[in-house]
Chain A
Amino acid sequence: MAKAPAKTEPSQALDQGLAVGVARLTPEKIESTIRTVLKSETGARLSTYVETCIHCGLCAEACHYYLSHDNDPHYAPVGKVKQTLWEMIKQKGRVTPEFIEKAAIIAHTECNLCKRCAQYCPFGIDIAYLMLVVRRIIHKLGCTPLYIQDTAHSHSVTMNQMWVKGDEWPDTLQWQEEEAQAEFEDLRIPLDVEGAEIMYSVIAPEPKFQAQLIYQAAAIFHAAGVSWTMPSELGWDNSDMAMFTGDNEIMGRIKRAHYDAAIRLKVKRIVMGECGHAFRSVYDVGNRWLGWEMPPIPIVHAIDFYYELLKEGRIKITKKYPTPITLHDPCNVVRGGGLHEKARYVAHTLCESVVEMTPNREHNYCCAAGGGAINCGPPYKQTRISGNRIKAEQLFAAKTRGAQVLIAPCHNCHSGLHDIVHHYGVGLDIKFFGDLIYELMEKPA
């Protein structure tokens, strides 16, 4: 209706997966795919959301992309729905391959599914869900961006996100166990211990290139005397990029493998590392696909578990971290799991000074890496960075109030914030809670 202002496009490299996928599209395929998804995979929720939206634009300021692009309406949540789903519905699926390409980029790289907009919409319309419907259509059309599609392939083939081969996994654990035994003589990374208290699960990038995080977790559990185990076979990876590509079938398979591993080991709870999207997948999404209202086994995020260990005094801190820190609230565990107060308890227990960013808790700005955006790879790195100037400003404000270290208890946030901090020259060290606990805790001889 109204003439659209020119969109501020970030510079962007070619995405070969997307380009090839789009080249294969035919109008018939687009139309029938969109119709099928809209007709048989969505229902009252989608139609009610679309028919109830009063086009008020109040969701705009929820979105970090919108704020970072000088309030460019193309990046407002409803603006993104207009450029994707509305048009698909209005045209009854008769959209062009170019449209699909644009929709794929918008839904995958200009939205992190952080659901902040659901908090800002007076009607509580779940715009992230609408974006997921778009991603589902894109997936079925074979136009998912290359890098994230590769992780979905990896999930499908190896049941982990990073093509970690069967023997590489226990091998890595044993390697870390040996490393750690140099520091703690009787430390074990217990594999397949039936009846252990907890199963610890991580995302595949940990064994792939951040193995020291497994070392740290093992050290913490060792110091706290936790009865724990890890599965040596399928199901050890709690990550889930299929959830973000709209590949629900794969998502279901990998979540089932994960729950199955815990059930097989007869553990009481699954404790997971400092990862947000995995928490979302295991705690909120995968279980639903498999038919459980809530997860079949209690899911405890690292923040929650550290809170427990510190509160119960199972981990003792030798001294408080002297450098002032600021705390990033990851969407998936805070807006998605309510762990903000526990995160603060952990932060205040560990550190002498905690500088709050504003906004914070449920209202924190996203890292722009989550929702699979960072997994779409290098072609979209600039999209994430230019799309999150507001985060840099928020971090810089915390820095001017004294913060020198940024705690980001989520892998995606960690990596995304790393890019932002470097690009904008914010100059904050980024750490996990695990880094601090490992550094500060009383270590058994």
Chain B
Amino acid sequence: MHAVYAFVSGPLAWLAFLLFFGGICYRLVRLLWEVNRTEKFIFSYMSWKYSLRSIGRWLIPFGTANWRLHPGLTVATFTFHICLLVTPVFLLSHVVLWDEAFDVSWWTLPDGVADVMTVLVIVCCAYFLIRRLVTPEVKFVTTASDFVILAIVAAPFITGFLAYHQWFAYPVMAIAHIVSGEIMLAAIPFTRLSHMIFSPLTRAYMGSEFGKVRHARDW
């Protein structure tokens, strides 16, 4: 157990963060380099004003026609993404580890709240899974990779929830939690989870085209 823990919390964690941050930088730099090489015109249409206008609008729940068209999904996706980003960053147990390792710490969520948020992430994942299996227009374009990335995201939260409550196989669950979290971090830049990095950029470009050239709203 000690050797396993030492490995997953040591070299593997470093590798995961390296792949996560390095991967994000690599993907961004590569994207800009590629745009500059082949589609430089994109830069001339980009506008901060219209990029932010578009991104801002789409970040408001029910702020766009399509969010209003899908109230269930809108609630689910906002809940999911907010909890997904906030919970791990502000979880006490995680901040304790940052503090121990690097002497940095920040505000944390009460454990009870974090617990609820974790459950919300899991419930939303289940909702997305069911939606994939049941809704025809989603099912039609679903590939195996969609289930894989959903599993990659759900796993740290499911294992984290079980590890926190120590309901069964605690040490195994704790290790599984650490490993699955590392897999998620490493996967973000290199799978379609990269929408975390790219979606603000695609949105910004479409927002710029609509605002600057088309004089129309893109929401």
Known: A119-B65, A335-B214, A338-B215. A57 touches B202 (CB 8 A): no
Distance in angstroms between the alpha carbons of A78 and B209 in the assembled complex: 21
B146 lies within 8 A of chain A by Cβ: yes
A56 lies within 8 A of chain B by Cβ: yes
Proximity bits, B26-43, A CB within 8 Å = 1, else 0: 000001001101110110
| B70 CB contact (under 8 Å) in A45, A58, A124, A288 | A58
* Contact assessment for A118 and B206 in the assembled complex, using a CB-CB cutoff below 8 Å: yes
| A74 CB contact (under 8 Å) in B138, B140, B192, B209 | B140
Known: A44-B34, A60-B137. A335 touches B216 (CB 8 A): yes
A71 lies within 8 A of chain B by Cβ: yes
* Closest chain A CB from B216 CB (angstroms): 5
B139 lies within 8 A of chain A by Cβ: yes
* Closest chain A CB from B34 CB (angstroms): 4
A2 lies within 8 A of chain B by Cβ: yes
* Contact assessment for B216 and A334 in the assembled complex, using a CB-CB cutoff below 8 Å: yes
Which residues in B have their C-beta under 8 angstroms from that of A42? 38
* Contact assessment for A124 and B65 in the assembled complex, using a CB-CB cutoff below 8 Å: no
Known: A48-B201, A284-B213. A73 touches B137 (CB 8 A): yes
* Contact assessment for A123 and B54 in the assembled complex, using a CB-CB cutoff below 8 Å: no
List the count of A-B residue pairs having beta carbons below 8 Å apart.
Answer: 148
B177 lies within 8 A of chain A by Cβ: no
* Contact assessment for B139 and A79 in the assembled complex, using a CB-CB cutoff below 8 Å: no
| A4 CB contact (under 8 Å) in B35, B135, B140, B206 | B140
Known: A293-B45, A335-B214. A57 touches B198 (CB 8 A): no
* Closest chain A CB from B152 CB (angstroms): 13
Known: A52-B198, A123-B195, A284-B213. A1 touches B70 (CB 8 A): no
A423 lies within 8 A of chain B by Cβ: no
* Contact assessment for A57 and B138 in the assembled complex, using a CB-CB cutoff below 8 Å: yes
Proximity bits, B65-82, A CB within 8 Å = 1, else 0: 110011001000000000
Additional A-B contacts beyond A122-B64, A126-B209 (5; CB < 8 A): A52-B195, A55-B141, A73-B137, A122-B203, A124-B54
List the interface of chain A (C-beta within 8 A of B): 1-2, 4-5, 42-45, 47-49, 51-58, 60-62, 66, 71-74, 76, 78-79, 81-82, 118-126, 284, 288, 293-294, 334-340, 359, 362-363
Sample 14 A-B pairs with CB under 8 A, ordered by A number.
Answer: A44-B35, A51-B194, A52-B198, A54-B195, A57-B137, A57-B141, A71-B136, A76-B137, A119-B219, A126-B206, A126-B209, A337-B215, A338-B216, A362-B218
